[in-house]
Structure 1
Amino acid sequence: MDKDGNLVNADERWPVVMGSEQPEYYTTTKAQGEAIVLESNRTTSHPNFLTTAIRPAGIFGEGDVQMLPSMLKASQQGQSKVQIGDNQNLFDFTYVENIAHAHLLATQALLATHRIAPTIPLDTERVDGEAFFITNDSPVYFWDFARMVWKEGGETQEVSKNWVLSKDFAMAIGMIMEWVYWAMGKGAPNLTRQRARYTCINRYYCIDKAKRRLGYEPMVSLEEGVRRGVKDIMSRQGLGDKKAQ
């Protein structure tokens, strides 16, 4: 990851950034949790206890309470008319069923390894003690994904009519809004410096390791996952087949 937070076709050989070098507390806690899991693999006291770590990227789908709901809310509030950055940054988003599929494949691999314990598989085949990136294997430009969600929710805004804000300008607005909301005791605004920065960075991964060792392939496409996820959320919002306004 570079100083701007970009991850370009990153694989499991990339270093895990934690502590003072990691500005996001949530990311640090995830890394710490993963370290505990992997360090528990084949310990001296429990040599037959096997673990692995799944690293999903950008989870969305049915039951989503964060990504899709916030995107649909932006559309419903008329905020989909604004784009931050030039939309040339690629992102990996992963449908939840594909992630569940990866967990099942990892479980099967661990059980197969357990049957031959204490023998350790070759490094090129090993699953226990290893981490695996899991994605839909379909990197997409950030705002293209958002518009895919908005269209499924009923958005008809033409891209040519969108307002495009530079990252620096959006960061400045975000900072002002953060201070205003803080002063008014309202918590966090919809636009923050972190969100402005996040929408302009590259975050996509190489999942070749998961393909080779787990036999992973996404079962559900990005488009179908969005369709299912948006349908579920609109149903939970009581919108049913209505279009987002």
Structure 2
Amino acid sequence: AQGETLVLNFNKSSPTGMLTTSIRPAGIYGERDTTVTKGLADHALKSSPFVLRFQLGDNDNLFDFTYAGNVAYAHMLAAQCLLATFKRLKSGGAAPLDHERVDGEAFNVTNDSPVYFWDMARSIWALMGKVVEPEKAIALPEGALTVIGGLLEMVFGLFGKKPRMSRKEVRFSCMTRYYSCEKAKRRIGYVPVVPLEEGVVRSVGTVLEKEQGVEAKKEL
């Protein structure tokens, strides 16, 4: 939040009249990402089919996952709009109307297709050959897990280690977190170019390639 404030406050404040904007991506995933895809894929690789049936919370929380390529595309569109406005102002043209402005504004960027959190996880696992039927999922209560996560953090912390489940993981898995990107559509012309499902296939593909490489080295 502080970084965004600094960026937006810098808009038109420098001697060069530099224009700025802020892009707010939600839940970035993609090839070789080290958070969403890696975290869920690692869990699948380390867990038995029975363990994968357990989910944190009731899976009633919609969540926005945004493909990294779409985030990059949004940045390009925003940059083009800023350049167009800068040239327009330098040539003596009128500033964009308030409902057209890009400079000094913040934009949510998503894949515009929120999904339930554990549905996303299970789609990743299915591509890895670990199918979990939703009706066989075992929901664990968020409140109890938050307490357990805190205890695990304390115990593992004594040995300088991090537990596989912490309060942060519980909160992240159970929170409702989706946003409207209508403003980005109207003002910078943003539309997701890579659908959610295709992005998942691409992301998991790099995970499988890496695992195949690891297995090949073991056989040497």
1:221 aligns with 2:195: yes
Structure 2 Cα separation of the partners of residues 35 and 234 of structure 1: 40
Alignment RMSD? 1.8
Task: Find the counterpart in structure 1 of residue 164 from structure 2.
Answer: 190
Instruction: Spell out, residue by residue over 1:69-105, the C-alpha distance to the aligned partner (whole angstroms, 9 max, x if none).
Output: 1101111111422111111110000001111110110
AA of the residue aligned to 1:75: A
Query: How is 1:1-245 mapped onto 2 (pairs within 5 angstroms)?
Result: 31-43=1-13, 45-46=14-15, 48-78=17-47, 79-117=51-89, 119-186=94-161, 188-238=162-212
Q: 1:116 to 1:137 in 2, by over 3 A?
A: same
TM-score, length-scaled by structure 2:
0.90
How big is the shift at 1:240? Answer: 8.9
Instruction: Mark the runs of 5 or more structure 2 residues left unpaired by the alignment.
Output: none
Structure 1 Cα separation of the partners of residues 169 and 31 of structure 2: 23
SS of equivalent residue, structure 1 residue 83: strand
Structure 1 Cα separation of the partners of residues 214 and 135 of structure 2: 29
Bigger Cα displacement from structure 2, 122-131 vs 156-165: 156-165
Structure 2 Cα separation of the partners of residues 190 and 205 of structure 1: 28
TM-score, length-scaled by structure 1:
0.81
Q: 1:113 to 1:224 in 2, by over 3 A?
A: same
Instruction: Spell out, residue by residue over 1:99-136, the C-alpha distance to the aligned partner (whole angstroms, 9 max, x if none).
Output: 11101100110111011115421000000111100000
Q: Percent identity?
A: 47
Q: Kindly tell me the number of residue pairs found equivalent between the two proteins.
A: 210
Larger Rg: 2
SS of equivalent residue, structure 1 residue 216: coil
SS of equivalent residue, structure 1 residue 169: helix
Contact 2:122–2:131 at 8 Å: present in 1 too? no
SS of equivalent residue, structure 1 residue 204: coil
Instruction: Mark the runs of 5 or more structure 1 residues left unpaired by the alignment.
Output: 1-30
How big is the shift at 1:168? Answer: 1.1
Structure 2 Cα separation of the partners of residues 55 and 197 of structure 1: 20
Structure 2 Cα separation of the partners of residues 225 and 155 of structure 1: 19
